[in-house]
C-alpha cells in the first residue's frame, strides 16, 4: 500500500475522532516531508534509517518552503543547502512535534498490522532546559511604543481593517490569533449589561483550540474607548471580510502580515503575533491576578481537577475588572479613529 493510501486511512480515523481537518492535513504534510529525508518506503524504514532521519530533523531549516534559496529542493538536499547558507534550524519544540507525530503514525501502522514495529520508538528531542515563559517573548514598553507608533494605528483607513483590530483584540483581551480573525458581528453582544465577545464554533469555518476556548469574555474598556463596539455594529457577518478562509482558518493572512511587519518593527526571532497575548497574560500575572480567572479569560484549561471539574465560571463583572487591569499605555492611549 502506497504512502498516499495509508495516510488517507490514517486521516479518516483521526477526523472521526474529532481532530480538526486543518490539523490532520498539516500533519500529513509533515509526515511526507520527513519521509522525503529517506529514499526508502515507509515499510522499509529500519531502526538505523530512522536514526538517520532523527538526526536530520534537528538540522531542518525553519520556514523551508518560504525560502527562495531552497526552491525546487527536497529531502536531504534542503538540509545540505540550508547548512551551506547557515540558515536557522527548526526549534526543539518543532523537533518534538515531528517525532511525536512519527511515533503516532508508526504506532497506528503497527496496530493496523501494516508494519511489525515502530522504528522511531524511543527517539527523543534534545533536553530543553529553557523555561517555557522564555521561549516566546513578550513585548516590553519600548516594543509597544514602536508598534503603536506605526501609521496603521493612526489611520482612519486602516482603522477598519484586521491590521488595526486583531493585534488590539489579542493585546487587550487575550484572544488567540484565529479567535480574533474569525469574529463575526453576532459574536459581539451585550450580556448582563456588559459588552462581550463570544468565542464559539457555531460554524464549520470557525476553529477553537479546545473546549476551554469556547467562552464569553467582557470586552476591554480600552477597546470600547477606541470604538470597537461601533465598528462591530457597522459590520454584517465576518468583521474582517478581507481575510480569506484558508487551510489554517482565517488566521493565515494575519500570520503573513505579522511576519512582514515584525521586520519593520525591528523584532527578532522569538517575537511573533503570540507576543501580544503573552504580554496581556504577563501583565495580569505581575499584578497578582488569580491564575484560574486569567485561564478562563484566555481560554486555558484549569490545571487542577477541583477547579476544572467542580468549579463554576467566574462572573462577567469579575472578569471585566481583571481585563481592565491591563496597563500597556502605548496601546490604551491611542486616539479614537472610528
How does pLDDT run across 118-168, given as a tens digit for each residue? 999 999 888 765 555 555 689 999 999 999 999 999 988 888 899 999 999
Residue 266 belongs to domain with CATH number: 1.10.443.10
Q: What is the pLDDT of residue 247?
A: 72
> Contact 280/192 with Cβ under 8 angstroms?
no
Lookup: cell for 253: 493572512
Looking at the predicted structure, is the pLDDT value of residue 41 above 90?
yes
Under 8 Å CB-to-CB from 77, ≥6 apart: which residues? none
Range of the domain at 328: 135-332
Q: How far apart are CA 39 and CA 35, in angstroms?
A: 8
Q: What is the mean pLDDT of residues 7-23?
A: 90
* 172/297 same-domain check: yes
Confidence of residue 305 (pLDDT cuts 50, 70, 90): very low
Q: Are residues 262 and 222 in the same domain?
A: yes
Q: Both 166 and 94 in a single domain?
A: no
pTM > 0.75? no
Burial grade of 105 (CB within 10 A; 0-12, 13-18, 19 or more): buried
Same domain? For 63 and 175 the reply is: no
Whether the per-residue pLDDT at 309 is higher than 50: the answer is: no
Question: In terms of domains, do 79 and 174 share one?
Answer: no
Q: Is 191 helix (H, G, I), strand (E, B) or coil?
A: strand
Check pLDDT > 80 for residue 335: yes
Considering the domain architecture, whether residues 273 and 205 belong to the same structural domain is answered as yes
Same structural domain, 156 and 52: no
- Do 309 and 181 fall within a single domain? yes
pLDDT at 306: 43
Residue 260 belongs to some domain of the structure: yes
Residue 118 lies in a domain: no
| Mean pLDDT over each residue of the chain, to the nearest integer | 90
Is residue 149 within 8 A of residue 124, CB to CB? The reply is: no
Give the integer Cα–Cα distance in Å for 174 and 190.
19
Give the residue among 123, 142, 139 at the shortest CA–CA distance from 45: 123
pLDDT value for 211: 87
**pLDDT value at 88 more than 50:** yes
Same structural domain for residues 76 and 178? no
Asked whether residue 121 is domain-assigned, the answer is no
Instruction: Give yes or no: residues 218 and 264 share one domain.
Output: yes
pLDDT score, position 312: 64
Amino acid at each position: 500500500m502506497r504512502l498516499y493510501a495509508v495516510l488517507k486511512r490514517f486521516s479518516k480515523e483521526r477526523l472521526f475522532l474529532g481532530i480538526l481537518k486543518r490539523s490532520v492535513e498539516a500533519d500529513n504534510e509533515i509526515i511526507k516531508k520527513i519521509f522525503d529525508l529517506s529514499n526508502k518506503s515507509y515499510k522499509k524504514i529500519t531502526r538505523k534509517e530512522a536514526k538517520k532521519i532523527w538526526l536530520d530533523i534537528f538540522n531542518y531549516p525553519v520556514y523551508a518552503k518560504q525560502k527562495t534559496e531552497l526552491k525546487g529542493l527536497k529531502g536531504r538536499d534542503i538540509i545540505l543547502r540550508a547548512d551551506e547558507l547557515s540558515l536557522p534550524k527548526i526549534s526543539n519544540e518543532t523537533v518534538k512535534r515531528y517525532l511525536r507525530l512519527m511515533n503516532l503514525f508508526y504506532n497506528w501502522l503497527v496496530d493496523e498490522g501494516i508494519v511489525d514495529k515502530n522504528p522511531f520508538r524511543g527517539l527523543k528531542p534534545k533536553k530543553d532546559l529553557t523555561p517555557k515563559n522564555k521561549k516566546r517573548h513578550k513585548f516590553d514598553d519600548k516594543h509597544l511604543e514602536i508598534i503603536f507608533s506605526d501609521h496603521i494605528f493612526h489611520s482612519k483607513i486602516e482603522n477598519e481593517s484586521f491590521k488595526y483590530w486583531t493585534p488590539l483584540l489579542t493585546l487587550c483581551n487575550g484572544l488567540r490569533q484565529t479567535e480574533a480573525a474569525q469574529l463575526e458581528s453576532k459574536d459581539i453582544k451585550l450580556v448582563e449589561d456588559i459588552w462581550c465577545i463570544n468565542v464559539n464554533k457555531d460554524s464549520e469555518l470557525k476553529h477553537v483550540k479546545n473546549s476551554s476556548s469556547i467562552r464569553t469574555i467582557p470586552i476591554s474598556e480600552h477597546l470600547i474607548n477606541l470604538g470597537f463596539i461601533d465598528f462591530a455594529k457597522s459590520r454584517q457577518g465576518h468583521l474582517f471580510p478581507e481575510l480569506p478562509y484558508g487551510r489554517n482558518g482565517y488566521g493565515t493572512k494575519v500570520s503573513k502580515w505579522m511576519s512582514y511587519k515584525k521586520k519593520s518593527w525591528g523584532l527578532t526571532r522569538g517575537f511573533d503575533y503570540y507576543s501580544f497575548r503573552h504580554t496581556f497574560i504577563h501583565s495580569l500575572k505581575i499584578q497578582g491576578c488569580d491564575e484560574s480567572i486569567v485561564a478562563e479569560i484566555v481560554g486555558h484549561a484549569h490545571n487542577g481537577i477541583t477547579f476544572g471539574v467542580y468549579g463554576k465560571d467566574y462572573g462577567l463583572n469579575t472578569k471585566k475588572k481583571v481585563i481592565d487591569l491591563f496597563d500597556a499605555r502605548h496601546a490604551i492611549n491611542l486616539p479614537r479613529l472610528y
